[in-house]
Amino acid sequence: MTSLLIDSGNSRIKWRWINCESKSKNDHYIDISDLKLLAKYFSRDESVNSKPDRVLLANSAGQQREAEITEIVFELWGVECELVRSVESFDTLKNGYHNPAQLGVDRWLGMIASWSRLQEPFILIDSGSAITIDLVCLVDGYGEHQGGVILPSLGDSWDDFACKIPHLKEMPLIERGGEGSLIGKSTVEAMRLDLAGTAESVRKVVQNILKLHKQNGGNLPRVVVTGGGSAQLLNSITLGQSIKFTTVKSLVLDGLAILCDP
């Protein structure tokens, strides 16, 4: 069985072909400006000689993008995309949002991949069109998502952020100010901190989460960093020598691959 995994983000579309014989990580991507060429890229991939049996799509870029990609896939192969959504739990990982479906699917899949790999507490930082920071704790053998923070990408203001991610206009009005809650369990709560997209903002949030976790008696979480801006972020941020970092390139596709296992 051949499967096509698609990660549709706000800046890029990434994909990976997998089959029963191989779990290849030969990933491909295009910028969203080349969306009209996506069918040509799919058709000329050397990693597959026939149409996919399954296509799993994780889309975090709004309903219009989802419709465009599903149409491209159906016109090419007559295959319906399986639209992956955030749910209440997967295996021993629990979604911490008040409404689990509201958690960005890219964040959820990143946590699934990280939890599957680590099975220990971790902070997941995804540095892309936005910077998201999520905490997963170990409770009675389960990974329990405690919530997260959403910040503009490095160098961006909140106005820049809104322009890059237009589907946020569908969200209720967000009033930012002060420190608010440390981490949020809804998109509105996660975006409430009045912090710009800087390495200092990320350091501040992560250090506060580590401090809170230590006060609650937990072991120091590992910090997992992913996303297109991860190298720039790691070159700019200092968290201390005792912090364990793990850098992973394609966590969303890794998460999709886990869901694709029979």
Residue for token pair 């999520």: 134
Q: Domain residues of the chain, as ranges? A: 2-83, 89-250
Higher pLDDT: 147 or 160? It is 147
Amino acid at 16: R
Query: Which range among 6-10, 69-73, 153-157, 216-220 shows the weakest confidence by mean pLDDT?
Result: 216-220
**In CATH, which of 3.30.420.40, 3.40.228.10, 3.30.590.20, 3.40.190.80 is domain 89-250?**
3.30.420.40
Query: Would you call 126 a catalytic residue per the annotation?
Result: no
**102 close to 86: Cβ distance less than 8 angstroms:** yes
Residue in 87, 126, 125, 123 with CA at minimum distance from that of residue 105: 87
Higher pLDDT: 114 or 245? It is 114
pLDDT tens by residue, 227-256: 999 988 888 887 766 677 889 989 999 999
Shared fold status for 2-83 and 89-250: yes
Residue for token pair 């890219």: 106
Q: What CATH number was assigned to the domain covering residues 2-83?
A: 3.30.420.40
From the candidates 31, 34, 106, 134, give the one annotated as an active-site residue.
106
